[in-house]
């Protein structure tokens, strides 16, 4: 009986303590973490306004009007801002609004539509710019807590919380390329969140929110983010060169529709460019036989450790390397699988 009374007393004490803590404004550990992440990361999140030019039907004067809006974040204190390509696509004028409500005209520095990423630049002083800490998406596991900050439906600096729902997803980029190894999350992502950061519980960037899957256009708990490891690789290239640099083999490929129509798995080589890696490795394109009929040349089926079934696979495999890398290229010639080691050339 004494033990039962002690347990009852302990339960009552815990309940009273919880009520007292709530009344005093205390938070749970998880709530405290949410608050800390938001306070630390939200100054890095910006509002992106995409402006276009229209003609007033009465005065016929040209004027700038908002075409759309989205989210971005500060990459470094030199004024570089990262967002989605589709957020600023077709913009005649882009305005960045910082957390202190100051607005700055942005210049497009680099675009990677195949990864739905864009880098902008504003001439704001460094003390107004707080970059996000960069995390590691390779170590993510399903179930890890994630937080998204963005401007859904124009409601600025909104926090949503969820978990990593799945890894290794594929989504379609604005130019119809596949974006691979995408993070799926149930943190609410809505129109306007695009380009905003997906964060871990240490306020580190682990992804760039880019899309939702929803028949209604609103969040149904399936959102996607480009992993930060991809972002870390691409953004410096966009800043330095304005585009994604992909090393080349030096081939011209046959149209994908033709390959699909003929049931070809791989990338048929149409022509080999003289003096480039494929030429040095002895690859062959389509040629005519002694009777003048066209004969299929080599069909690339692998680059490095990556299987190549179509042109998109080939581009994705090349994007994992840099000029000067030596890679094994597997191809089919006359029904026989062959390999060559090629040194990739700059674009």
- The residue with greater pLDDT, 322 or 217, is 322
Q: Which two tokens stand for residue 219?
A: 């969040």
Answer yes or no: 194 catalytic: yes
| Fold adopted by 251-343 | Pdz3 Domain (2.30.42)
In CATH, what number does 42-128 get?
Answer: 2.40.10.10
Catalytically annotated residue among 44, 86, 121, 312: 86
Across 218-232, average pLDDT = 88
Answer yes or no: 137 catalytic: no
Give the integer Cα–Cα distance in Å for 198 and 81: 15
Label the pairing between strands 133-134 and 145-150. Answer: unpaired
Answer yes or no: 56 catalytic: no
164-185 tens-digit pLDDT: 999 999 999 988 888 999 999 9
Q: Name every residue whose Cβ is closer than 8 Å to that of residue 207 and which is 6 or more positions away in sequence.
A: 137, 146, 183, 185, 197, 198, 225, 226, 227, 228, 231
Domain boundaries, the chain: 42-128, 133-241, 251-343
Catalytically annotated residue among 44, 116, 165, 312: 116
120-130 tens-digit pLDDT: 999 999 999 99
Give the integer Cα–Cα distance in Å for 178 and 211: 13
In the DSSP assignment, the letter for residue 334 is T
Give the integer Cα–Cα distance in Å for 231 and 195: 12
pLDDT surpasses 90 at 241: yes
Across 51-74, average pLDDT = 61
Tell me how far apart the terminal alpha carbons of the chain are, to the nearest angstrom. 82
Catalytically annotated residue among 42, 69, 137, 194: 194
CA dihedral 180, 197, 128, 37 (to 10 degrees): -140
User: Considering only CA atoms, which of 278, 269, 287, 286 is closest in space to residue 250?
Assistant: 278
Distances in whole angstroms, Cα of residue 14 to Cα of each of 7, 10, 27, 79, 317: 11, 6, 15, 50, 57
Q: Do domains 42-128 and 251-343 have the same CATH topology?
A: no
Domain 133-241 has CATH 3.40.50.1820: no
């Amino acid at each position: 009986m004494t033990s039962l009374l002690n347990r009852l007393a302990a339960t009552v004490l815990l309940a009273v303590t919880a009520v007292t803590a709530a009344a005093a404004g205390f938070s749970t550990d998880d709530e405290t973490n949410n608050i800390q992440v938001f306070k630390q990361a939200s100054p890095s999140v910006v509002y992106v306004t995409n402006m276009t030019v229209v003609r007033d039907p009465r005065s016929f004067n040209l004027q700038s009007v908002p075409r759309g809006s989205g989210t971005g974040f500060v990459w470094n204190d030199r004024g570089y801002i990262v967002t989605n390509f589709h957020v600023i696509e077709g913009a005649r004028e882009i305005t960045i609004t910082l957390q202190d409500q100051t607005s700055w005209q942005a210049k497009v520095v680099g675009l990677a539509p195949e990864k739905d990423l864009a880098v902008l630049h504003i001439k704001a002083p460094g003390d107004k710019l707080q970059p996000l800490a960069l995390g590691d998406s390779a170590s993510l596991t399903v179930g890890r807590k994630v937080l998204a900050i963005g401007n859904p439906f124009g409601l600025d600096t909104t926090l949503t919380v969820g978990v990593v729902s799945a890894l290794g997803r594929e989504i379609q980029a604005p130019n119809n390329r596949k974006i691979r190894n995408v993070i799926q999350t149930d943190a609410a992502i809505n129109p306007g969140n695009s380009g905003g950061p997906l964060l871990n519980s240490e306020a580190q960037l682990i992804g760039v929110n880019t899309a939702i899957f929803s028949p209604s256009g609103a969040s149904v708990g399936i959102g996607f983010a480009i992993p930060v490891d991809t972002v870390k690789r691409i953004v410096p290239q966009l800043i330095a060169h304005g585009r994604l640099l992909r090393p080349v083999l030096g081939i011209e490929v046959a149209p994908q529709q033709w390959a699909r129509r003929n049931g070809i798995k791989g990338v048929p080589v149409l022509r080999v460019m003289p003096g480039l890696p494929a030429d040095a490795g002895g690859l062959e394109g389509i040629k005519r036989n002694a009777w003048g009929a066209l004969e299929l040349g080599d069909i690339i089926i692998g680059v490095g450790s990556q299987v190549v079934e179509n042109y998109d696979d080939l581009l994705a495999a090349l994007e994992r390397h840099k000029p000067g890398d030596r890679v094994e290229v597997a191809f089919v010639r006359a029904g026989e699988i062959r390999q060559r080691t090629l040194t990739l050339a700059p674009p």
